[in-house]
Amino acid sequence: MAAYDYDLFVIGAGSGGVRASRMAAGYGAKVAIAEQYRIGGTCVIRGCIPKKLLVYASHYRYDFEDAEGFGWEVGERSFSWSRLIASKDREIDRLNGIYINLLKNSGVVMFEGRAVLEDAHTVRVGDRKLTAKYILLATGGWPVKPPVPGIEHAITSNEAFHLPALPERVVVVGGGYIAVEFAGIFNGLGAKTTLLYRGTQILRGFDDDVRAHLAAEIVKEGVAVHLKSDVARIDKRSDGSLHLGLLDGTELACDAVMYATGRKPNTGDMGLEQLAVKLDDSGAVVVDAFSQSSLPNIYAVGDVTDRIQLTPVAIKEGAAVAATLFGGKPTRADHKDVPSAVFSQPSIGTVGLTEAEAREAVGAVDIYKSSFKPLKHTLSGRDERSFMKLVVDAKTDRVLGAHMVGPEAAEIIQGIAIAIKMGATKTQFDATVGIHPSAAEEFVTMREKWVPPAKAAAE
């Protein structure tokens, strides 16, 4: 008789949990997975996929405007929020079905309901108790709202995907990538959009030049950006409108306020405290390089560990756990030089170190920058500029970071990321023939080192 019901029990059927369970089953393990809502997790259900679909929708505004410069006559047009959301929901339903079939076809047993740990090897789902040799926590994260008076009138990104109508006036509170992306979505779809951020510049943690460039561009597109600004209270009036009282005493009226000020790991009420599974101050599961928690048979991957909150990273971590436990190949997930994108308008693509990080890590760096009007906008007339930057180790010539703001930044940076992961040098970038005419060629044609204005003046 088997000592446990399952070799692996996965709690959370998002990207990391699904990948780990499928791979573990592929190695011959008996696997079960529990999910209390829908298979697919944050990315598929309420994150990257529906958000990117809304980004596409919002960008048609600019495409229609730009068409005239290329000889097209665009007639009367209108936008239906309800049709967009219905189309988005159909696609999410389709993907949810695909994920369910992937698990079924892999032989993974699925349980619907909230899973709670009874002990290190026992999981309770509803009124069922199940045992497993190993347990994997892949419960992701959840948006949080600060304790501001009237915060019950605010929404998060979760609710933004299901609004009954597009608000005429929207205030987005926050300065991270989710806030910036939704500000672009609402603005592009026609809402009067304001972005409030308590810091001195949006996108903390990104390269400073990228932050400044994008901030200037989104203002040009019509987003009102208020820095060093925060909400003191939210009042709802009898007509349904919201009035925000800011800390500086000013007021803003809007029809919806969306908070994108942070997310917290989903570790509450799971039984982790009773088992003494070590959590950090944010509630994230503390794990080692192999995603193993403080209890040897319990592992955790994805946003619940608060390492790098990106879907492909969770997938890599899940695959590594499966290979370690059942594939006979102890595997660490590699968190170095992970590329990422912000689907703002214009978009951001980045990989490697920022200039500030590189200076701290290696000391002397060479910086190459380029800002230019894309070829498309020479005819469209749009006042939009792209920006590219390379951060190079001055001693070794190795490219430590590449950053871009502009159309298709994610598509371009994905290829650049391969070169940086392989340790490419600036000399090798220079030796590569560019594709002309393209924006991407700028990464292999930047030759002049950037010199700080003060130093240039002194010379």
Where is the domain boundary, 261, 279, 308? 261
Would residue 297 count as lying in a domain?
Answer: yes
pLDDT digits 0-9 by tens, 324-359:
999 999 999 999 999 999 999 999 999 999 999 999
Check pLDDT > 90 for residue 456.
Answer: no
To the query of whether residue 121 is one of the catalytic residues in this protein, the response is no
CA distance linking residue 25 with residue 32, whole number of Å:
9
Helix, strand, coil proportions of the chain in percent (round to 5)? Answer: 35, 25, 40
User: Dihedral, CA atoms, 368, 369, 375, 378, nearest 10 degrees?
Assistant: -150
The per-residue pLDDT for 397 is 98
The per-residue pLDDT for 386 is 98
Q: Amino acid identity of 153?
A: H
Q: Amino acid identity of 415?
A: G
Catalytic residue among 213, 335, 377, 436: 436
Percent of the chain with pLDDT over 70: 98
pTM score:
0.95
User: Which residue, 291, 408, 410, is CA-closest to 339?
Assistant: 410
Number of domain units in the chain: 3
The per-residue pLDDT for 37 is 87
Would residue 335 count as lying in a domain?
Answer: no
The per-residue pLDDT for 1 is 47
pLDDT digits 0-9 by tens, 100-118:
999 999 999 999 999 999 9
Q: Amino acid identity of 154?
A: A
CA distance linking residue 212 with residue 378, whole number of Å:
23
Residues 11, 139 share a domain: yes
- Residue 11's CATH number: 3.50.50.60
Residues 278, 130 share a domain: yes
pLDDT band at 455 (very low <50, low <70, confident <90, very high): low
The per-residue pLDDT for 459 is 58
Where is the domain boundary, 213, 233, 261? 261
Residues 288, 180 share a domain: no
User: Which residue, 354, 184, 329, 186, is CA-closest to 255?
Assistant: 186
Would residue 104 count as lying in a domain?
Answer: yes
Where is the domain boundary, 213, 228, 261? 261
Q: Amino acid identity of 130?
A: L
Would residue 237 count as lying in a domain?
Answer: yes
Q: Amino acid identity of 319?
A: A
Average pLDDT for the chain = 96
Q: Which residues does 200 contact at the CB level (< 8 Å), separation at least 6?
A: 227, 228
Residue range of the domain that includes 366: 340-458
Tally of CB atoms within 10 A around 240? 8
Tally of CB atoms within 10 A around 306? 21
The per-residue pLDDT for 453 is 77
- Residue 447's CATH number: 3.30.390.30
| Assigned token pair, 445 | 């044609």
CB 319 within 8 A of CB 15: no
CB 398 within 8 A of CB 423: yes
